[in-house]
Amino acid sequence: MKNETSAILKLSNISKSFRGVKALVDVSFELQRGEVHAICGENGAGKSTLIKILSGALQHDGGTITFEGTPIPQMTPERSFKLGVHTIYQENTLVPWLTVAENLYIGQEICFPKTGLIDWKSAFNKTADIMKSLKMNIAPRSFCANLGIAEQQAVQIAKTLAHECKVVVMDEPTASFGKAEIDNLFRIIRMLREEGKGIIYISHHLDEVFEIADRITVLRDGRYVNTFPVKEVTKAVLIDNMVGRSLGDFYDKEIIELGEEIFRVEKLSRGNAVKDVNFSVHRGEILGIYGMVGAGRTELARLIFGVDKAGQGKVFLRGAEITPKNPEDAIKAGLAFITEDRRRGGLVTNQSIENNMVLPSLRKFKNLFVSPKTVRSIGRRMMGELQIKAPDPGTVVENLSGGNQQKVVVAKWLYAGAEVYIFDEPTRGIDVGAKQELYNICTNLAKQGKAIVFITSEMEELLSMSDRVLVMRGGRISAEIPKEGITQTRVLYEAIGGEKIG
Ligand X SMILES: Nc1ncnc2c1ncn2[C@@H]1O[C@H](COP(=O)(O)OP(=O)(O)OP(=O)(O)O)[C@@H](O)[C@H]1O
- Contacting range for ligand X; rule: CB under 6 A; set: 225-233, 311-319, 393-401, 478-486: 393-401
- Contacting range for ligand X; rule: CB under 6 A; set: 264-272, 324-332, 396-404, 445-453: 396-404
Backbone φ and ψ of 343, nearest 5°: -75, -50
CB 453 within 8 A of CB 285: no
Instruction: State the minimum distance, in angstroms, from the CB of residue 57 to ligand X.
Output: 10
User: Among 10, 35, 48, 94, which residue sits at the site for ligand X (rule: CB under 6 A)?
Assistant: 48
The site map against Mg ion for 349-388 (x = CB under 5 A) is ----------------------------------------
Q: How many residues bind Mg ion (CB under 5 A)?
A: 4
User: Among 402, 405, 427, 435, which residue sits at the site for Mg ion (rule: CB under 5 A)?
Assistant: 402
For ligand X, the binding residues in 83-142 under the rule CB under 6 A are 90
Instruction: State the minimum distance, in angstroms, from the CB of residue 63 to ligand X.
Output: 15
Task: Residue 203: name its binding partner from Mg ion, ligand X, none (Cβ under 5 to 8 Å by kind).
Answer: none
Smallest CA-to-CA distance from 439 within 254, 207, 242, 257 is with: 254
Return the exposure string of 62-82: e unless at least 16 CB atoms fall within 10 Å of the residue's CB, then b: ebebebeeeebeebeeeebbe
- Nearest-Å Rg of the Cα atoms of the chain is 23
Q: What is the total residue count of the chain?
A: 502
User: Among 402, 423, 473, 481, which residue sits at the site for ligand X (rule: CB under 6 A)?
Assistant: 402
Asked if residue 400 binds ligand X (CB under 6 A), the reply is: yes
Query: Looking at beta carbons only, is 18 or 112 nearer to ligand X?
Result: 18
| Residue 452 neighbours by CB under 8 Å, 6+ apart | 281, 285, 286, 287, 420, 421, 422, 423, 442, 445, 446
User: Among 284, 403, 426, 475, which residue sits at the site for ligand X (rule: CB under 6 A)?
Assistant: 403
Asked if residue 404 binds ligand X (CB under 6 A), the reply is: yes
Task: Residue 418: name its binding partner from Mg ion, ligand X, none (Cβ under 5 to 8 Å by kind).
Answer: none
Task: Residue 45: name its binding partner from ligand X, Mg ion, none (Cβ under 5 to 8 Å by kind).
Answer: ligand X
Smallest CA-to-CA distance from 227 within 386, 474, 28, 52 is with: 28
Distance separating alpha carbons of residues 235 and 245, to the nearest angstrom? 13
Distance separating alpha carbons of residues 333 and 306, to the nearest angstrom? 11
Amino acid at 335: L
CB 212 within 8 A of CB 241: no
User: Among 16, 31, 44, 48, which residue sits at the site for Mg ion (rule: CB under 5 A)?
Assistant: 48
- Please state, as a whole number, how many other Cβ atoms lie within 10 Å of the Cβ of residue 168: 24
Asked if residue 389 binds ligand X (CB under 6 A), the reply is: yes
Query: Looking at beta carbons only, is 27 or 455 nearer to ligand X?
Result: 27
Smallest CA-to-CA distance from 342 within 297, 395, 400, 287 is with: 400
User: Among 10, 33, 37, 47, which residue sits at the site for ligand X (rule: CB under 6 A)?
Assistant: 47
Asked if residue 14 binds ligand X (CB under 6 A), the reply is: no
| Residue 32 neighbours by CB under 8 Å, 6+ apart | 2, 6, 7, 8, 198
Residues near ligand X (CB under 6 A) are 18, 21, 23, 41, 43-49, 90, 389-390, 399-404, 431
